[in-house]
Amino acid sequence: MKLLVLPEDGMTAVVNAIKAASKSIDTTIFRFDRAEIEKALEAAVGRGVKVRTLIAHTNRGGDKMLRKLELRLLGAGVTVARSAEDLARYHAKFMVIDGRTLFVMLFNFTALDAKSRSFGVITTQRAPVLEACRLFEADVTRQVCAPVPQVLVVSPENARKRLTEFLKGAKKSLWIYDPKINDSATVRILEERVQKGVDVRVLGTVGKRAKQFKADHMKSLRLHARVIIRDGRDAFFGSQSLRTAELDSRREVGLIVKNPKVLKTVMATFEKDWAETKVAKVEAKEEAKVEAKEEAKAATGEPAPGSA
């Protein structure tokens, strides 16, 4: 198992995996503007690889781009399917190479996400690979797919139950990357954990319902990650935020990971981002104090520091 950390690692591993595919590539697409990935998919078709894409039926502001992408891929010989419209969004981001390697991606194939804080998990473990293949096949053919328990975290089928259990199981800490937490039931669980002495840290935003904990904005990077690190022992990586819609009415896919190397890397990354955020907050407060003093002096007619 391997962890991709964006923006540091970029999308090289994704492109290389597509280039190395010998039999098949199945990938979902929500947003897309990476020319090198499009060219790699086209080249794969050219060498006889069966390439299938499942493209979201809609996204905010990008429907025309999705339809143009469909036509380009069809013209290149890629098999293109469009997600069903019974889900509010098809936001899942995963790719299976040769039926043996699964990429669970927290990022889109876009230049913006490549510059953002995000992650991807690469695994060859048989259970999640087979489950991803089964889910892809069902969604391509628009069939019902009941998730196998304790493998993938799939919205809307089992995500609320799995993530509720995951959060309630925290004994020491919950370190969370999440652009927007607003699900009321989830907020209550997090507040209960705080009351039990669990160290809850959130990089992102949280709804006004939260009273026991706060979220801190990342300062140096755009955040596009959904990660929950529990007690330093296991972590959830997925496309779903702890938002009601993403738990209950959209297609989202995630994976709970226990791999020690992955945990070590994601924890070190979180600690770095958390420290930078705290430093930025202190610096902002100091700057505000200086500005307030200068404004007060200006109001009394005193010269500003350094003026002649």
Go through the domains of the chain in sequence order and give each one's CATH number: 2-147 (3.30.870.10), 155-266 (3.30.870.10)
Do residues 175 and 267 make contact, with C-beta atoms less than 8 angstroms apart?
yes
Q: Which percentage of the chain shows pLDDT scores above 90? A: 85
Work out the average pLDDT over 293-297: 58
Which of the four pLDDT bands, split at 50, 70 and 90, describes residue 208?
A: confident
Q: What's the CA gap between 103 and 117, in Å, rounded?
A: 17
The answer on pLDDT for 202 being more than 80 is yes
Query: Which has the closest alpha carbon to 139: 92, 74, 75?
Result: 92
The whole-number pLDDT of residue 302 equals 59
pLDDT digits (tens, 9 = 90+) for 5-57: 999 999 999 999 999 999 999 999 999 999 999 999 999 999 999 999 999 99
35 φ/ψ sector (left φ>0, alpha ψ -120 to 50, else beta): alpha
The residue written with tokens 């089992």 in the block is: 158
Residues of the chain above pLDDT 70, percent = 90
Confidence grade of residue 284 (pLDDT, cut at 50, 70, 90): very low
User: pLDDT tens across 152-163, in order?
Assistant: 999 999 999 999
- Asked whether residue 192 carries a pLDDT value surpassing 90, the answer given is yes
Q: Hey, which bits of 68-142 come out as E strands?
A: 79-82, 94-97, 101-105, 118-123
User: What is the rounded (10 degree) CA torsion for 134, 139, 140, 144?
Assistant: 80
> Would you state the pLDDT for residue 300?
66
Give residues with Cβ within 8 angstroms of 176, minimum separation 6: 200, 201, 202, 203, 204, 227, 228, 229, 242
Closest CA to 178 of 234, 236, 258, 248: 236
Q: Do residues 232 and 195 lie in contact, with contact meaning Cβ atoms separated by under 8 Å?
A: no
Check residue 307 and give its pLDDT.
Answer: 46
CB 276 within 8 A of CB 283: no
Q: What is the pLDDT of residue 296?
A: 62
Q: Tokens for 96, please give them.
A: 């299976």
pLDDT tens-digit map of 210-253: 888 889 999 889 999 999 999 999 999 999 999 999 999 999 99
Q: What per-residue confidence (pLDDT) applies to 129?
A: 98
The total number of residues written for the chain in this structure: 308
**Count of CB atoms situated within 10 Å of the CB of 74:** 12
For residue 101, the 8-state DSSP code is E
Computed on alpha carbons and rounded to an integer, the radius of gyration of the chain in Å comes to 22
Q: Over the stretch 51-94, which tens digit does the pLDDT of each residue have?
A: 999 999 999 999 999 999 999 999 999 999 999 999 999 999 99
Q: Is 178 helix (H, G, I), strand (E, B) or coil?
A: strand
pLDDT of 279 reads 64
Section 180-196 average pLDDT: 96
Taking each continuous run of H as one helix and of E as one strand, the counts in the chain are 9, 14
Q: What is the mean pLDDT of the chain?
A: 92
**What's CA 34's distance to the chain center, in Å?**
18
Distances 124 to 9, 85, 143 between C-alpha atoms, Å: 19, 31, 25
